[in-house]
Structure 1
Amino acid sequence: AVEKMFGGNAATKKTQRNLLKQQYENFTASSSEVFDLTFDRLQKLISQLDIHSESVSQEDVNQKFLRKLQEVNIPSTRRTVPVETPALADLISCDGLSGYDWSDQFEDGPTNFTLMAYSSTSSSSTVSTDSNCSSTCLENAKILKEQNEQLLKDLKTSKINVITYKTGLESVEARLLVYKKNESIYKEDIKLLKREIHLREVAITELRRKLELAQKQKDKIQLTVENFENSSKNLSKLVDCQIIDKCKTGLGYNVVPPPYTENFLPPKPNLSGLE
């Protein structure tokens, strides 16, 4: 659609560009048209100029838009008010509107562009009741005032939250510093414990070696004792076998000599004959 609309040779394009420039120069705002629609028409015209490589500065667009709004809504007395932003460094004229910065409205887009009637010298930001200001202007200014108050409340809440977060962060950082110091101490303690454990393992290994050596010596001595006991028993048996029969003891009997075969004569009175 764009190619069809702006197609043609160089002469045709030049004619179209001149026509768009003339429309831009003769751009007007209608009192029955809301600000958003007026701004949209201007933006569409700027877009068409860009297509034809005809650039227009944003500052010029902003000033033209403000002038056309003033022509519609402000028929009489005018005064100049300096705009704070560098993009609108020139003075703009308005009636009943003092000290309002329009630059952010152009940056945010047509949906946020609304005429506000705040007094720059009033701390309470009261809404102007000039008879020349339309009801739409007053309503939009009232809405923006409520939004501004809500934003201020949110800003205060955010500041309190930031202070709370900073305090909590400082506390966490202090605890982290303590933990780092304790970590270095714990590392030293761990090194000492590891060294002590190593020494104890060495001592345990040495004790196990000595225990094994003692166990081997014990087994050797036990074997010697058993051999000695066996030898003693064998010796006792050998000695017992060599004892004569009449000297045996503990067997429950003694050898009785054989009876006399000679005749027995009683002794004489003088006991002779007993030899």
Structure 2
Amino acid sequence: QILDTVSPSNFPALNPEVIDKTFRENGANFVSGANNLADDLLRLIDGRPPAGAERFRPGIEVAITPGEVIFKNELIELIRYAPMTGTVKEEPILITPAWIMKYYILDLSPQNSLVRYLVQSGYTVFCISWRNPSSDQSGLSLDDYRRLGVMAALDEVGKATGSSRIHGVGYCLGGTLLSIAASAMARDGDHRFASLSLFAAQVDFEEPGELGLFMDESQITLLEDMMWVEGTLDQRRMAGAFQMLRSQDLIWSR
């Protein structure tokens, strides 16, 4: 991240692409760049989505695999995607995304949708959609997410399909939660998981990687104090951590 701040490409006078474009546009690129910066800052202050977000509308540009909500409680909605084949696989799949992401993270477009691939392969797919928490839900624990999220979804998948064996798929924090749920189920003799697949999910926090550079006891204490006052952790603070991890893509290239 420090090297990115002094990268020659981030200085107009040292970036050959910027120099070339400046000559071709007679400096108009700096005017449009300043306007884009002003727009980004205003959106940040107003709490509006970043520029271009309107081009990713659920059900139109993203999340276009047909599905229906079959269950909801105070924490989740459970979406069912019906198989697109004449022959249906006996064992369904339950996808658990992170609660800091949209449910359609694995259904972004037909070209890269895991959900669409699975239903076209004959699987009945279920996906958890986490509700945005409010301040009155600040007392929810990780075990509440396990109980009201994964376990409640598993119960409903079993009811909907009649299957006693379910394949679990977890993405990011959803995979972490899924591994916790699977461990508790194994302890209790609950063998409903036929398999467990984790994508970008951490289960061993001894070596957190680059994220550990931004986290220490003082940072955790600060975040806990903020959540005590506000009831939730603001999305902008979480986004800041991801921006620092990929600063070249999410900060400097903008």
TM range (shorter): under 0.3
Give the structure-2-normalised TM-score: 0.23
Give the structure-1-normalised TM-score: 0.22
Q: Which has the higher contact order (CA 8 A, sep 6+)?
A: 2
Larger Cα-atom Rg: 1
More helix by share: 1
More strand by share: 2
